[in-house]
Amino acid sequence: EDVTAPQSSADPVPERKRTTPLNPATIVRRIFRGVSRRPFRDRVIHLLALRNYKKPELLARLQRDGVLAKDRDSLGKILQQVANLNAKDNSFSLKEYLFKDIQKDWPGYSETERQTLQLILSGKAASSPNATSTKHSPSQGPSDRDGPSRT
């Protein structure tokens, strides 16, 4: 019995060592594989939704997530379409009308970035005049009319 006990306890251990440990780079790559399949323009938009980027910073972030050479070459053209250039610090900010297209569950966002985005989007909704006017005008109209007619 003594002979089989060490063998049975020793056997699983080498097997466990043989399985590859979870490599953080692999996990990150798996997450970003989902992003790298997305249209390049969407990737640029979703990064700019979080904050302003200078072109080299944006390029570095996109390359970290995996970027094709043809996409890298089209970055300038895409930025002209989707971003405003801040001449003071040469940074790009996302054009206002594109915030409505942002996906909160974008696969490239970390948990922190999702929370940041939530704050940005709720701030935009609060400051947007048509968001508030469309909410109030339909409800105000009938209630104002009904109110005086009842009294």
Question: In the chain, pLDDT over 70 holds for what percent of residues?
Answer: 62
pLDDT > 50? residue 48 = yes
Task: Single out the residue of 52, 35, 53, 54 nearest to residue 103, CA to CA.
Answer: 35
Q: Looking at residue 43, what is its pLDDT?
A: 95
Residue with the two structure tokens 């003594």 = 2
Domains recognised in the chain with CATH numbers: 41-120 (1.10.10.2670)
User: pLDDT band for position 24 (50/70/90)?
Assistant: low
Q: Identify the sign of the CA torsion 69, 73, 77, 81.
A: positive
Note the pLDDT tens digit of each residue in 97-125: 999 999 999 988 999 999 999 999 999 88
Stated pTM of the model: 0.63
Note the pLDDT tens digit of each residue in 138-149: 434 444 444 444
C-alpha neighbours within 13 Å on the C-beta side of residue 55: 14
